[in-house]
Structure 1
Amino acid sequence: MRVSTSQFYQFSSNNMSRLQADVTKQTEYLSTGKQVLTAKDAPVGNLSLLGFKEELMSIERFNANITQAESRNNRQEVALSNAQDILLQVKDIVIQANNGSYSEEEFTSLSQQLKSSLDQLMDVGNTKSESGEYIFAGYQSEQRPFSIAPDNSVSYGGDNGQSELQIAQNIFVPINLAGDEVFMLADNVVGDFMSTYTDNLTIPADDIDPDEPDIYVERAVIVDRETYNGAGMTPGFTFDFTDANGDGVVEATVTDATATVLYGPLDYTAGQTIAFNGVEVNIDGNPLPGDQFTINEQDKVSIFDTVKDAIDWVDAAGTNLSDPKQHQVDYNHIITQLDEAFSHITNKRAEVGTTLKTIDTQRNIALDTEVLVNSSRGKIEDLDFAEAISLFEQQKLSLQAAQQTFSQVQGLSLFNFI
């Protein structure tokens, strides 16, 4: 078969172009370290590669959320730890102040320490995140959540919102605790009611220690909410102890705010439960004729209010007490309520700890998954350098041979053989 000069040139040009393209393509494989650069390189495996890459991008996004969630919860954990330390300090000061031998100046010093503790607790409540947001303000993260009045009462300006971040396909974790839940809603140690006392004005001659309280409400709870709500009572409920017959037997009577009798008068024996319309009340001590107290519904107590009560109590301790029994009752209540406040903060800190554990577990899972996905992706996509280099050298030699052959053949002519 005859081959024209133009055909020879066309064939040689196409052949060298193909060999040059193969060398260029192999160079791309070697420079990227990948054996799959386009879908045509691995039509079947390319779909798997797309899935692997999408999963790795998802892990990267979740890892960013994991870092942010961990930072926010670590900041909360530190803040709650500081709150615990402050409450322990407050309790220690109150116990110190329960000392009748202290001078007015010493009580003033203790009161100032308590006010400083209240300020520190306020600072904890107004803790900011690394981005300048208030972490205990709920959704109102730009607004300072806690503010204090001249009388040391503290108000909350945030809401009860709780933000979350997604750290896995089906896992969301909180990044904040609402400030009202943390600082304003500690359980009332008494139960569902707060007590106020009217002391017995006549101290019996056989009263061994007139400075010790006769009675203390240790439990006041609503045990039957339906009965309580349906009774039509008007809080608060006043408990009166009398000896109407003069026989030394104390009788108890309970009335509501409209003076409607809800219980009694019935003989009262120390330690018995007074129950009426879904309410149960237990009293510590032995009531005397003339003793009186009132309970009003309040099942939650602000931790700030408890510290404020401690300040007021110490301030009162530095004066001539007109009612030492009531002062001692208040002391017992403040101490037990401080213990409850500490337990409340401990529980909230435990919630944060649980969240941090979830975050840590998910980070480890994400790391393991990332290693597995990269391994699977590498089996399809990563280049075998030894094989690729060998093929590259072969292709380069083929191109060089084609170029040399074309160079030699194109110069041939019949005149060379004449």
Structure 2
Amino acid sequence: MMRVSTSQFYQFSTNNMGRLQSDVTKQTEYLSTGKQVLTAKDAPVGNLSLLGFKEELMSIERFNKNITQAESRNNRQEVALSNAQDILLQVKDIVIQANNGSYSEEEFTSLSQQLNSSLDQLLDVGNTKSESGEYIFAGYQTQQRPFSIAPDNSVSYSGDNGQSDLQIAQNIYVPINQAGDDVFMQVDNIVGDFMPTYTDNLTTPVDDIDPEEPDIYVERAVIVDRETYNGAGMTPGFQFDFADDGFGGIDVTVTDANGAGAAVYGPAAYTSGQTIAFNGMEVNIDGNPLPGDQFTLNEQDKVSIYDTLKDAIDWVDAAGTNLSDPKQHQVDYNHIITQLDEAFSHITNQRAEVGTTLKTIDTQRNIALDTEVLVNSSRGKIEDLDFAEAISVFEQQKLSLQAAQQTFSQIQGLSLFNFI
């Protein structure tokens, strides 16, 4: 029979109660946190998966913040572009109203004031700010007001063509701004690669001019062969002059702006609607010019929306005066209306791009939500506590500890004197 010394008994009892107390404490932590894995030793293999799940959840949270910011910025762009569309429709309506020869000077003045107000409104659209006070149409120069207007109603752009992106998923980036240059200053020129400037007829007597006959109108002016055009060594600023051919017809001659006076085309017979081709260029002219009529083509394949509004204001202002060339004024009207339509289409395309971005953001938000649910479910299977089972274990451990404490208390008080 083995003898147990008092010191051994105390040591054994202390160790046993300490272990049981540690088990109870640990089980209490499980119950208080609702987790069954608190340290790596609780589930050495599962803990690696938990670390991966937690990292993925943190990534989803970070991307969700970016999703919220990206959505806010793109919503502001969408609203701004919608306002721009409304303004362009108003401008077109005013210009159409102004194409009325019976209006008084006061009525033309009122329409001009409305157009000036529309220009100011469109300027405000271009200078729209985000919720954090940054200009959304300034490219990378978000702290600098992008659009400013001069006394002559010309508008300049001081931003750049940068576009900032925000990451909303592992491999998905979406734009959160648009360069104002692309949105408002780069509308396709309806004529093509050149902008015509018409000169009033100065040589033909007024009595010889048929008021019902259309004046010159450039329908199309494009560079069809860039290599040939560049190789010709011409200086842009092509002047088209129309002259009597001596046989009742009209000749057209084209010279460039190099000052040498040599023609780059013609003189050749002019026919309304013909295509004039030379040195990689093609120009389609309509109308019936008179001897002495002329116009100039300068390279310009893009047109600012603000310039189109300025042209509309100038046209209405001129309409309220005694016009020197009513026919050419009508040609200018057709050009402005068509360029306004092109500007509206351009803004529509820009708005469609924002809509596509918003759709991408919405789709990614749904994917993130689904992924978060899936990851939390997988994490829960490893980490979450089965409370019913945990409470049962806790009660058993507590009873074991209480029994050990009671046993120790009773045995440590025993003495031979108790039996004498």
Q: TM-score range by the shorter chain?
A: over 0.9
Mapped partners of 1:207, 1:140: distance in 2: 54
Deviations 1:320-347 (A, max 9, x none): 1111122111111111111111111111
Mapped partners of 1:306, 1:204: distance in 2: 30
Equivalent in the alignment of 2:79: 78
Mapped partners of 1:310, 1:74: distance in 2: 30
Answer yes or no: is 1:174 the counterpart of 2:175: yes
Deviations 1:87-145 (A, max 9, x none): 10000000000001000000000000000000000100111110011111111111111
Answer yes or no: is 1:55 the counterpart of 2:70: no
Give 1:169-318 correspondences, 5 Å limit: 169-201=170-202, 202=204, 209-210=211-212, 213-245=214-246, 247-257=247-257, 258=259, 259-318=261-320
- The letter for the 2-side match of 1:252 is V
Equivalent in the alignment of 2:41: 40
Aligned residues of 2:211 and 2:327 also touching (Cα < 8 A): no
Residue ranges of structure 1 left out of the alignment (5+ in a row) = none
Aligned residues of 1:127 and 1:136 also touching (Cα < 8 A): yes
Secondary structure of 1:219's match?
strand
Give 1:43-122 correspondences, 5 Å limit: 43-122=44-123
- The letter for the 2-side match of 1:299 is D
Deviations 1:135-170 (A, max 9, x none): 111111111111111111111111111111111111
Equivalent in the alignment of 2:394: 392
Bigger CA drift: 248-257 or 306-315?
Answer: 248-257
Secondary structure of 1:63's match?
helix
Mapped partners of 1:119, 1:254: distance in 2: 40
Mapped partners of 1:138, 1:408: distance in 2: 83
Mapped partners of 2:182, 2:131: distance in 1: 22
Aligned residues of 2:200 and 2:324 also touching (Cα < 8 A): no
Secondary structure of 1:340's match?
helix
Equivalent in the alignment of 1:153: 154
Deviation at 1:271, TM superposition (A): 1.8
Secondary structure of 1:44's match?
helix
Mapped partners of 1:204, 1:152: distance in 2: 33
Residue ranges of structure 2 left out of the alignment (5+ in a row) = none
Aligned residues of 1:199 and 1:325 also touching (Cα < 8 A): no
Secondary structure of 2:44's match?
coil
- The letter for the 1-side match of 2:114 is Q
Deviation at 1:223, TM superposition (A): 0.7
- Decide whether aligned partners of structure 1 residues 204 and 144 sit closer, same or farther in structure 2, where only a CA change above 3 A counts: closer
Deviation at 1:264, TM superposition (A): 1.4
Answer yes or no: is 1:357 the counterpart of 2:367: no
Aligned residues of 2:254 and 2:266 also touching (Cα < 8 A): yes
Deviation at 1:284, TM superposition (A): 2.3
Equivalent in the alignment of 2:30: 29
Deviations 1:341-368 (A, max 9, x none): 1111111111111111111111111111
Equivalent in the alignment of 2:5: 4
Deviation at 1:208, TM superposition (A): 5.5
Aligned residues of 1:189 and 1:336 also touching (Cα < 8 A): yes
Deviation at 1:206, TM superposition (A): 8.3
Aligned residues of 2:146 and 2:159 also touching (Cα < 8 A): yes
Mapped partners of 2:76, 2:37: distance in 1: 45
Equivalent in the alignment of 1:378: 380
Secondary structure of 1:79's match?
helix
Deviation at 1:269, TM superposition (A): 2.4
Deviation at 1:397, TM superposition (A): 0.7
> Structure 2 length as normaliser, TM-score?
0.96
Deviation at 1:204, TM superposition (A): 8.6
Aligned residues of 2:214 and 2:288 also touching (Cα < 8 A): no
